[in-house]
Amino acid sequence: MQKSISIKIVIGGFCLALLIFIGVSVISYSHLTQLMELPRSMDYSYKLQEHLKDLLSQLNSANAIAQQQQSLLRQIQAKEQQVLQEQLATVVTQIHTTQLIMILGHSSSLAILMVLCGLLLKQHSRFQPELSGDRQQSQTTRSQMAQREQLILRSAQRIRQTLDLDTILETTVTEVREFLGVDRVLVYRIWSDGTGSTVAESVTPDTAPILGQTFPAEVFPEQMHQLYCQGRIRTVVNPETDGVTPCLVEFLQHLGVKSKLVVPILQQEKLWGLLIVHHCSQLRQWQPLEIDLLSQLAIQVTIAIHQAQLYQQLQNELSERQRIEAQLRQARDELEIRVQERTGELIQMNADLQTQIHERMEAEAALKISEERFRVALHDSPITVFNQDTNLRYTWVYNPASRINTDVLLGKSELEMFSPENAQKLIPIKHQVLTTGVGERQEISIIVDGKVRYYDLTVEPLQNDAEEVVGITCAATNITDIRIREQQLRAIFEGALDAITITDNQGRYIEANPAACQLFGLPVNELLGKRIAEFMEPDFDFEAAWCLFQQQQRFTGEVRILKPNGTVRDVEYTAKANFLPGQHLSIWRDITERKRAEKALRESERFIQRIAHAMPTALYLYDLIEKRNIYTNQQITQLIGYSPEEIQQMAPTFPQNLIHPDDQAKCTTAIKRFATAKEGEIIETDYRIQHKSGEWRWLYSREMVFTRTADGLPQQILGTAQDITEHKQAESIRLALAQEQELRQLQLNFFSMASHEFRTPLSTILASIQLLKYYYPEGSDKKICRNIDRIETTAKTMTQLLGDILTISRAETGKLEFTPQPIKLESFCRCLVEEMQVNAGENYSINFVSQHQPPIVLLDEKLLRSILINLLSNAIKYSPIGSQIDLILTYSQSTATFQIKDQGIGIPSADQKKLFTIFHRGTNIGNIPGTGLGLAVVKKCLEIQGGTISVNSEVGVGTTMTITMPLPSA
């Protein structure tokens, strides 16, 4: 390859020498002398040569890079080297070819430059005698020649300085137009199909440009193409008289051209294009100097085109080299990736092979273990395996666990081993398998030793090589225990008191016991197939609950079910999802009655709790064994300054650590008395206790045994404590204190009685009433219903009585709360009147009168309701049947006035003075029932709100109660 390159270089040098010789032959001795006087032209050739040398240096660098890439082949596997070697050889060949082209191009450019310089000097020598002979020629001609030479030199310099052909052409046409003073100068490029385009143009402002336009082949006739290829210059002074074809004359007229000058631009004896000058303003006679100038410039353009093509070729070669280098890098990277992938595949194959070997060893070990387990399982299982021939005689039996002597069975038939009844159950199954050749599996029951035994029998045919049935193989599994358990579970299922149901995946009942039928109120044939959702209340989201149940697999809770007859029952349930595949077990228990009892108990507890908190004395429950307070009400804080929580933390030293030392013995004696105290016996003690502030206070306690242990010993003590410090300190007011103690004693006795005597009876009565109403609904025995209503009314009356006493007690102890809230007064009164009218029935008429609509005001609705209900109840109670009771509401900006008028028996004047005293009743009431607490409650409720009450009554005429209450705006 190197030898061929050297031969190419020698040939190129020979061609260069030949071109130089031709150039020298053109230039005479005088021309060479003048050439030496043109340093600018020579400088151009030298710079062009240096530029080409730089390009050759870049190509040599590319060659070196290719050689470096060749060294990388040593690192590539043998199977890839051949392909890459061929690619590298192609690249090196292209690089050497590019070098040779550049050498020849450089030589050609130098030779062309020398020929051009020879022509210039020859022309200069031709005009030199004329210039020397005619020194008196006009200064204008000399100036034009000088400008022409400068124009040619500038063109040559531009070619040397830039490789951009468009810039060279644009500058050339502009300078030529300015030099010649014409209207348009253009470079016309001729394409391979005969068409042409204006690639460079310079026009005057008044001339229409044609730059970029493409003209058809008819504009450029074939004969003219041949003449221009021969280098002919065409001058047209007048298109109409200079032998121009008519179509060209028309074309020139269309462009507005009067005269034109056309110089061909040849490249390697091929017509590249035309350098055209148009004069549009008038006819113009073209001078030889102008023709010669365009010829020289055409040569310059040819050199620029050749140089641009060489540069473009070089750029293409460099791009190709870069592309090949990129391909080489990509091939190297792909090869490295391929090697890595192949290596990884080998490693993975090795790992997979090791894994397969390991898995095979594990499988063999597992197979051995499985065989051993099967042998052990069969040895200890209740399965009996045996073979029989076509006559159903036993040929092989295996079941060590059955303790059967196999020698006894071998050779015997079913009739010889079993009773006729058992044999008749077995023989048909086995004969069918022998006949059809198809296995069977059935559950059979036989009697063994007088007991029924259940077996899961599997019978399969035995075949010889000719696929003929020669016997049967059987496996009999003893499932007696399973069937007995199933029967037991079925008995439990049927006899369970709780409802048991089984549903499918859609929530439909597929099994239910009698208790479930009773709970849902449907017979079993109607219950099965129904969905759970059909028994739920309308607002119950069954779909969401069912999805959550299947996710959590277990549910426990309470729900209300709606029976077909419309009754609602409270039930608690527990459910297990998929206790069998696709089946869900639920157990239901009706807790309706328990819920009612719990509700009554809670209401009773709340009632007692309210009583306890309303008591003016401390109420506590103390455990003697655990030595701690189980319960204390809030009054204990007022007595000793400690909160119930602090008292709990003080156990077990409370209250002994706070009792005065002088009273310790007295308290100890009182505690000992509980051991012998009778049921309900109250033990009274007064002692001093230290307040949280440090002062000593006298307490008066009343205690009794609340609960006892199984041995009868006292365990919990219920007591009340009252602060009697002031009684002890103020002997001067002993009488007032005695009255207060009497009142307190009355209250304590009442609360004690309510706590012990009323709590259980009231709870029992109310619960019993609910049960009686359930079993004796409206429309049944009227006498019984009337008695039930009477009992319920009496119980509610007692409840109201306790409520009134509680209100009075709270008012006296300062614990009656006043909680004003925004209220629509007229609407409130109308609702209250309607409620009272319902209770009064048709015997009384209650009329409500309001002068105008009052605004929303702040009042305690609860207290106002208590006031009006007590007054309206008294008006109804003490008025004759058929009379009218009026409730009149008047309103001012600051007060609201309520008047309750009746036509009753009236109140005597003597009784009006004690009207608001607790338990006081009028002397004229006769047998009308009452407690004497209603007006006292009204008085207390008004006082806490700042209201007043006045009475206007006349015996036998009626009574008017007037209530005035301050009304702050809401």
Q: pLDDT digit string (tens) for 683-718?
A: 888 888 888 888 888 888 888 888 888 888 888 888
Q: Which of 655, 640, 644, 726 is nearest to 691 (CA)?
A: 640
Q: pLDDT tens for residues 863-897?
A: 888 888 888 888 888 888 888 999 988 888 788 88
| AA identity, residue 656 | Q
The predicted pLDDT at position 754 comes to: 59
Residue 855 is predicted with a pLDDT of: 72
List the one residue out of 811, 799, 798 whose CA is nearest residue 936: 811
Q: What is the predicted pLDDT for the residue at 374?
A: 56
Q: Is-contact 683 704, C-beta < 8 A?
A: yes
For residues 344-362, give the mean pLDDT: 87
Is residue 7 predicted with pLDDT exceeding 60?
no
Tokens of residue 543, six digits: 């779909």
Looking at residue 159, its pLDDT comes to 62
pLDDT surpassing 70 at residue 798 = yes
Which pair of tokens denotes residue 652? 């077990």
Which residues make beta-bridge pairs with 187?
200, 275
Work out the pLDDT band at 26, boundaries 50, 70, 90.
very low
> Given this model, what pLDDT does residue 18 score?
42
At position 808, the amino acid (one-letter code) is I
Going by pLDDT thresholds of 50, 70 and 90, the confidence category of residue 472 is: very high
Question: Do 904 and 878 form a contact (C-beta atoms < 8 A)?
Answer: yes
- Which residues, other chains included, contact 790 with Cβ-Cβ below 8 Å and sequence gap of 6+? none
Query: What is the phi/psi pair of residue 303, to 5°?
Result: -60, -45
Q: What single-letter DSSP state applies at residue 713?
A: -
For residues 552-591, one letter each, b for 16 or more C-beta atoms within 10 angstroms of the residue's C-beta and e for the rest, the string is eeebeeebebbeeeeeebbbbbebbbeeeeeebbbbbbbb
Residues 6 or more apart from 328 whose CB is under 8 A from it? 69, 72, 84, 87, 88
Report the pLDDT value the prediction gives residue 60, as an integer from 0 to 100.
53
Greater confidence, 613 or 688? 688
pLDDT of residue 613: 72
Fill in the amino acid letter for 479.
Answer: I
Nearest Cα neighbor of 880 from 847, 904, 907, 845 is: 904
Q: State the average pLDDT for the chain.
A: 76
pLDDT higher at 57 or 826: 826
DSSP string across 46-85: HHHHHHHHHHHHHHHHHHHHHHHHHHGGGGS-HHHHHHHH
Do residues 95 and 1 make contact, with C-beta atoms less than 8 angstroms apart? no
Q: Which of 113-117, 279-283, 833-837 has the lowest mean pLDDT?
A: 113-117
CA distances from 737 to 639, 733, 743, 745, 950 (A): 18, 6, 10, 12, 31
Q: How far apart are CA 641 and CA 222, in angstroms?
A: 132
Q: Output the pLDDT for position 460.
A: 93
Among 511-520, 751-760, 841-850, the minimum mean pLDDT is found in 751-760
Among 41-55, 137-151, 158-172, 492-506, name the most confident range: 492-506
Instruction: Give me the pLDDT at residue 643, please.
Output: 84
Number of neighbouring beta carbons within 10 Å of residue 444: 14
Residue-wise pLDDT tens digits, 207-237: 889 888 888 877 777 777 777 887 788 888 8
Q: 188 is written with which tokens?
A: 């016309």
Does residue 79 have a pLDDT over 50?
A: no
Rounded to whole angstroms, how far apart are CA atoms 113 and 23? 9
Tell me what pLDDT residue 162 has. Answer: 67
Q: Give pLDDT, residue 318.
A: 86
State yes or no: pLDDT of 537 exceeds 90: no
* 763 against 254, higher pLDDT: 254
| Greater model confidence, 230 or 668 | 668
Q: What is the pLDDT of residues 376-417, one digit of tens each?
A: 655 666 788 889 998 889 888 877 445 566 677 788 888 888
What is the average per-residue pLDDT within 423-440? 90
Instruction: Convert the pLDDT of each residue in 281-293 to its tens digit.
Output: 888 888 887 888 8
Q: How many CA atoms lie within 13 A of 748 on its CB side?
A: 21
Average pLDDT estimate for 762-786:
74
pLDDT digits (tens, 9 = 90+) for 924-952: 888 888 777 788 888 888 888 888 998 89
Q: Which of 78-87, 301-310, 670-679 has the lowest mean pLDDT?
A: 78-87
**Average pLDDT of the segment spanning 793-799:** 72
Q: What sign does the dihedral 588-593-597-600 (CA atoms) show?
A: positive
pLDDT at residue 313, as a whole number: 81
Please, which residues have CB within 8 angstroms of residue 726's CB and are 6 or more apart in sequence?
737
